[in-house]
Chain A
């Protein structure tokens, strides 16, 4: 069986499962952010007094923090009251957490083999920890809060094997944008994805999270990277429970195996052009693209290694006069680490503004909204029409290194055009 099949078989109490079979699986962890307010309303409509297990629900405020309006403040308050009334054990309020997909692993909530559902599409990120992790809607989550279980159609699995050495300034973000460009926005729809191969096994946990996170943008239901020693080293100090090594069976059956040579196939940084994540072009094909804003952050690329590479590039330089550089550490922990290591000092000295750990402008609410006619280069995960503000603005998705380089150049730029030496440890452990 594939990883997805193995986890669903166990969670549904079966020996084996096969693609297209419908199973009811027990849920090990149920994640929500601000939309917990919608879940709460649906849950109360069902008429039950108590949630199924207050120790298995995690709520993290990240989309609108601190509250940007009275309306949001009111929903925040309603969720806090519900959390207290139900005794929900894991609640990360403003200033205590950050982006939910960073907060969960950082605080030891995720481990290999678990079934995790979240009312956020990028819940696939937790496949980097060997979890069967997928996004659901708020009403469906109300059902999970009631019953602790959910039906799934067992997905077939695409296996993506990556070998070769990354070229200078090519990162996990470039790899996954390249793959999405090749497979299309629905290239993995309804499917599980297993990323593996020597180039993946050398990656840091943070870089693996980029792959699992963005696999959603080609429709994946879940996306895994390998459970190996690098991952267990990350998990051991954080997770109190016993950790298990899980892997697909040697005779697992795949719908399709896709091979990528990171060095041969990806010659330079990749850019997702407006208004679709699968409109991917190599940077050099785009010509002169001036940018008014550069955003470094999000559940895709707001981690320490992302801030590190950006700080490296902007050291001793200044953000271009026409450009605003918005930096958003993915969590409070990353924020503190980046302060301690001097990355934020460097970025701010160059002219960056730092938003509080959260989703920032990625959902188009606050903290860096675009006007009509403006262009943004962003390390986030979506560039849909109007995603970050005006419907007449443009968002180009890129790696943290390209975002930093572009902020300095005032236009889309290759990091190698700003910094002569390559960055020593991009994506690799």
Chain B
């Protein structure tokens, strides 16, 4: 999936619970890694090592409420993105994680019922602008919130840095 795409298709790799915190996503001991690509090696290292090993490019992670609670560490969003995760869909996101994801160009979609309406292996189609999730495997639509226009602009640009780069180059 190319960066900046606002329509995505991918397979649900895992359906996780509520309050998946940033230490579960990316342990604090690796915070001195500041090459974003390298963060992917430690994704879910303590909590779900088998999930990290099974990820394929474009996979979708589905979770319950308050995904990404805890630390402001951007490595949590970076590790997901560079491990190939195409989008995270959650009942709700902790605010700093949500902003980090969008700023890095990782689609983060709020869908309150998603963790009930999907199982691992389902094929999903996402329209980020319309706020639509189609569960292709099950043949049904999952209600989702449309991304804020500001967030759409950042995702389309590939993240905040490419967005600002373009702004100041102009």
Same complex origin of A and B = yes
Interface residue count on the B side (C-beta < 8 Å): 40
Of the listed residues A64, A140, A143, A221, the one surrounded by the most CB atoms of chain B closer than 10 A to its CB is: A140
Q: Which residues of A contact B95 (CB under 8 A)?
A: 189-190, 219, 221
Given known contacts A365-B28, A386-B23, A120 and B72 CB-to-CB distance under 8 angstroms: yes
**Is B23 in contact with A137, judged by CB distance below 8 angstroms?**
no
Within 8 A of A (CB), among B80-118: 92, 94-96, 99-100, 103-104
Q: Which residues of A contact B47 (CB under 8 A)?
A: 385-386, 391
Beyond the given A34-B31, A35-B73, A382-B71, could you list 5 further A-B residue pairs with CB under 8 A, ordered by the A residue number? A45-B161, A72-B32, A135-B96, A365-B28, A365-B29
Q: Is A92 an interface residue (CB 8 A)?
A: no
Chain A proximity of B16: nearest CB distance (Å): 13
**Is B92 in contact with A186, judged by CB distance below 8 angstroms?**
yes
Stretch of A36-44, A168-176, A305-313, A412-420 lying at the B interface: A36-44
- Chain A, residues 102-118, CB within 8 Å of chain B (1/0): the string is 00000000000000001
Q: Which residues of B contact A72 (CB under 8 A)?
A: 32
Listed A/B pairs (7) with beta-carbon separation below 8 Å: A121-B72, A140-B100, A140-B103, A189-B92, A189-B95, A276-B19, A386-B46
The 9 closest A-B pairs by CB, nearest first: A137-B100, A363-B28, A386-B46, A137-B74, A384-B23, A186-B66, A135-B72, A391-B46, A121-B72
**Is A219 in contact with B161, judged by CB distance below 8 angstroms?**
no
Bound CA–CA A279/B104 (angstroms):
32
Bound CA–CA A221/B69 (angstroms):
12
Q: Which of B23, B34, B65 contacts A387, CB < 8 Å? A: B23
Q: Which residues of B contact A386 (CB under 8 A)?
A: 23-24, 27, 46-47
**Is A384 in contact with B24, judged by CB distance below 8 angstroms?**
yes
Q: Which residues of A contact B165 (CB under 8 A)?
A: 45-47
**Is A41 in contact with B34, judged by CB distance below 8 angstroms?**
yes
**Is B77 in contact with A137, judged by CB distance below 8 angstroms?**
yes
Q: Is A48 an interface residue (CB 8 A)?
A: yes
A150, closest chain B residue (CB): B99
Bound CA–CA A121/B23 (angstroms):
13
**Is B168 in contact with A47, judged by CB distance below 8 angstroms?**
yes
Chain B proximity of A255: nearest CB distance (Å): 16
Q: Is B6 an interface residue (CB 8 A)?
A: no
Given known contacts A72-B32, A363-B28, A143 and B160 CB-to-CB distance under 8 angstroms: yes
Q: Is B21 an interface residue (CB 8 A)?
A: yes
**Is A136 in contact with B72, judged by CB distance below 8 angstroms?**
yes
B66, closest chain A residue (CB): A186
Interface residue count on the A side (C-beta < 8 Å): 48
A221, closest chain B residue (CB): B95
Bound CA–CA A75/B30 (angstroms):
13
Q: Which residues of A contact B72 (CB under 8 A)?
A: 118-121, 123, 135-137
**Is A75 in contact with B32, judged by CB distance below 8 angstroms?**
yes
Q: Which of A34, A42, A64, A384 contacts B161, CB < 8 Å? A: A42
**Is B96 in contact with A121, judged by CB distance below 8 angstroms?**
yes
**Is B65 in contact with A186, judged by CB distance below 8 angstroms?**
yes
A44, closest chain B residue (CB): B161
Chain A proximity of B51: nearest CB distance (Å): 14
**Is B160 in contact with A186, judged by CB distance below 8 angstroms?**
no
Q: Is A21 an interface residue (CB 8 A)?
A: no
Q: Is B70 an interface residue (CB 8 A)?
A: yes
Bound CA–CA A3/B111 (angstroms):
31
Q: Is A364 an interface residue (CB 8 A)?
A: yes
Q: Which residues of A contact B145 (CB under 8 A)?
A: none
Q: Which residues of B contact A384 (CB under 8 A)?
A: 21-24, 70
Q: Which residues of A contact B70 (CB under 8 A)?
A: 121, 382, 384
Q: Which residues of B contact A38 (CB under 8 A)?
A: 34, 74
Within 8 A of B (CB), among A374-429: 382, 384-387, 391
Q: Is A139 an interface residue (CB 8 A)?
A: yes
Within 8 A of A (CB), among B124-161: 148, 150, 159-161
Chain A proximity of B98: nearest CB distance (Å): 9
Bound CA–CA A405/B19 (angstroms):
31
Q: Which residues of A contact B74 (CB under 8 A)?
A: 35, 38, 137-139
Of the listed residues B23, B100, B104, B150, the one surrounded by the most CB atoms of chain A closer than 10 A to its CB is: B23
Bound CA–CA A219/B99 (angstroms):
14
Bound CA–CA A138/B33 (angstroms):
13
Of the listed residues B69, B100, B150, the one surrounded by the most CB atoms of chain A closer than 10 A to its CB is: B69
Within 8 A of B (CB), among A42-74: 42, 45-48, 63-64, 69, 71-72
Given known contacts A140-B100, A219-B69, A386-B27, A186 and B94 CB-to-CB distance under 8 angstroms: yes
**Is A139 in contact with B28, judged by CB distance below 8 angstroms?**
no
Bound CA–CA A302/B79 (angstroms):
31
Q: Which residues of B contact A37 (CB under 8 A)?
A: 34
Bound CA–CA A221/B31 (angstroms):
23
Bound CA–CA A138/B19 (angstroms):
22
**Is B19 in contact with A71, judged by CB distance below 8 angstroms?**
no
Chain B proximity of A59: nearest CB distance (Å): 15
**Is A136 in contact with B96, judged by CB distance below 8 angstroms?**
yes
Q: Is A142 an interface residue (CB 8 A)?
A: yes
- Chain B, residues 29-48, CB within 8 Å of chain A (1/0): the string is 10111100000000000110
